[in-house]
Amino acid sequence: MTTLDDASGFGAGTALPPLPEDWERCLAVAAHPDDIEYGTASAVARWTAAGKQVTYLLATRGEAGIDGLHPDEAGPLREAEERAGAREVGVDTVEFLDHRDGTIEYGPALRRDIVRAIRRHRPEIVVTGAYDIRMVAGVINQADHRVVGLAALDAARDAGNRWIFPELADEGLEPWGGVRRVCVAGSDRPTHGVDVSGEPLERGIASLTAHAEYTKGLGAQGFDPGPFLTWAARQGGPALGVEAAVLFDVHQLAFEGPPPWER
């Protein structure tokens, strides 16, 4: 049998189960505008088409992301592109935390900001990016990605503890322990997949295409999201036994059903 280790970094074979879709609300947490669009947005398109509610939470406005544009100009531009890209996949609510692009620090301030959003939106799953040093295919992961991914994982548990960030109660935000899974995109050890064949992938491509000014700066030849996202999704597809898939490393925050010692 082909295993995940035989793949080019996105997954291969037929070893992965589909990500359960027995939930209604999702919070997608990322460091920068465009992070969600590199694959995850195709899964978001599938979910919103099924009537699920997805909210985006961005730690920065991506103001340091365009070399030829001053941050004061780049930030508003990238915010507008993120909102446009979100609309392509059925997401209406996009929030920004205004941490400084490129120098986000892991710590209580970031975790509190994410917990605040979790308590307000009450998601059942949280989606974020890989926090390992290496991503798929051995590519080195950017510092902000690592910090925000780990903070989102920790915040998902913090949100249910009233004695962590108790000051949030003064804002009327009661604990929310309803996050059941944290789904990490871009991991080199995925555990589940989402079938994005057909329309979800096309909508995901449109979502990244909305980041035209940002992608313009990625190289002299420009960047066409279609071929890249199609290739990546087709690399992931065999792991799920479908044409195209987005893969996630899924972390359970609670047992599914009775705990093992009661089964």
> Can you give the pLDDT at residue 256?
74
Distance from the Cα of residue 67 to its chain's centroid: 24
Neighbours of 24 (CB within 10 A): 14
| Helix (H) / strand (E) containing 214 | helix 212-216
19 contacts 127 by C-beta, under 8 angstroms: no
Supply the pTM of this predicted model: 0.91
Domain spans of the chain, in order of start? 21-254
Distance between CA atoms of residues 230 and 3, nearest Å: 21
> Can you give the pLDDT at residue 219?
60
CATH architecture of 21-254: 3-Layer(aba) Sandwich (3.40)
> pLDDT by residue for the chain (263 residues), tens digit each?
223 443 444 544 558 999 999 999 999 999 999 999 999 999 999 999 999 999 999 999 999 988 889 999 999 999 999 999 999 999 999 999 999 999 999 999 999 999 999 999 999 999 999 999 987 777 889 999 999 999 999 999 999 999 999 999 999 999 999 999 999 999 989 999 999 999 999 999 999 999 988 887 666 556 789 999 999 999 999 999 999 999 999 999 977 777 778 77
**How many CA within 13 A on the CB side of residue 261?**
0
CA nearest neighbour of 60 among 86, 34, 93, 27: 34
Which SS3 state, helix, strand or coil, does residue 176 take? coil
**How many CA within 13 A on the CB side of residue 67?**
6
